[in-house]
Amino acid sequence: MVELGRVGIWTGVLDAVPSVEAQRIAGRLEELGFPTLWIPETVGRDPFVTAALLLSATTGLTIATGIANIYARDAVTMANTQRTLDEAFPGRFLLGLGVSHHHLVDRVRHHDYSRPYSRMVEYLDAMEGAIFLAVGPEQRPPTVLAALGPKMLQLAGERAGGAHPYFVPVEHTARARQILGPGPILAPEQMVVLDTDRARARETARKGMAVYLRAPNYVNNLERFGFTDDDVADGGSDRLVDAIVACGDVDAARARVDQHFDAGASHVCVQVLQDDPRAVPEAAWRDLAAALT
C-alpha cells in the first residue's frame, strides 16, 4: 500500500533543471519532511524515467504522477511500468492517470479525443488484463484518476484507488468525497502564493492560472460550482483567484489545506506559484514544511 502522508508537494519545475539537480531537490524535499512529491506529464521529460531517478536518489519519499497521460502509452506498458517501479521501490510509487486535454491529445499527440471517458474505461479494462512475466507484485498497486466531473469521480471510486483532482476549489473536494465514498484516496492539488501583498499575490496567481483557464475541462468544472464566464475572463476574477489559490502567508496556506481535509481530503498536494514559473521555490517549500509537515 502506498503511504502518501498528509501533505505533499506538486511541482512541474523539475523539467527546468538537469536531472541530477532534480534528484537533489527530491532529496531536499524528503529532508524537509514532505512524504510525497507529485510530478506532471505534458511535453517534458518522461515521468516514469524521472520517477525512477527521484526514487533512487531518496530513501522514503513517495513519487506520484499527477498525471500520466493514457494517450501517451498503451495500457499494458502503463500497467507493467507501474509494477516495475513498485518492485524496485516497494510502496513508494503512486500512478496517477488521466485523459489530459483535447489540445494535448488531438493536436500534440494526434490521437482521437472524442470519447475520453469511454477511453478511460477501456484503458482500465486493458490494464487489469495486462500480462506481466517479470519479477514483481502479483497484484498491481493502487492507481488514482485525475477526476473532475461526477462520472470520472465515480469511476475513480469504483475502478481505481481514488482521485487526484487538480485546479479545484474546496467545494469540489466535498462533492468528490460524497461521490467517492469514505474509502478511496482523495488527493486534491492546492496552489499557493506566499506573498502578503494581496494585489501582487493575485497577479502571481493569475499568471499561474492562465494556462488552465484556456482548458475546457477545467472551465467546465468551475461552472459546476457557480463560476461564470465573467469569473474566467481577463485572467480570473478576484473571487475565482481566491477560490483556487491560497494567497498570503503560511498560515493562509495551512488554513486552506485544513479546509480540504475538513471537506474530506485524505492527502493534499501543494503547488507553489511564483512570478518566475521556472524558478525552484526552495525557500517557500522550507517555510511550508515548517507549517504543514
Instruction: Give the chain's mean pLDDT.
Output: 96
pLDDT single digits (tens) 90-140: 999 999 999 988 888 888 788 888 899 999 999 999 999 999 999 999 888
CA 159 – CA 84 distance, rounded (Å): 21
pLDDT single digits (tens) 18-53: 999 999 999 999 999 999 999 999 989 999 999 999
pLDDT single digits (tens) 70-100: 999 999 999 999 999 999 999 999 999 999 8
pLDDT single digits (tens) 153-185: 999 999 999 999 999 999 999 999 999 999 999
Superfamily covering domain 7-292: Luciferase-like domain (3.20.20.30)
The pLDDT score that the predictor gives to residue 140 is 87
The type of residue at 52 is: A
pLDDT single digits (tens) 232-262: 999 999 999 999 999 999 999 999 999 999 9
Q: Are 208 and 245 within 8 A, CB to CB?
A: yes
Q: What is the residue-wise DSSP string for 37-100? A: EEE--SSSS-HHHHHHHHHHT-SS-EEEES-EETTSS-HHHHHHHHHHHHHHSTT-EEEEEE--
The pLDDT score that the predictor gives to residue 104 is 81
- In eight-state DSSP terms, residue 274 is -
In the predicted model, is pLDDT for residue 65 greater than 90? yes
Region of 248 please: left (phi>0), alpha (psi -120 to 50) or beta.
left
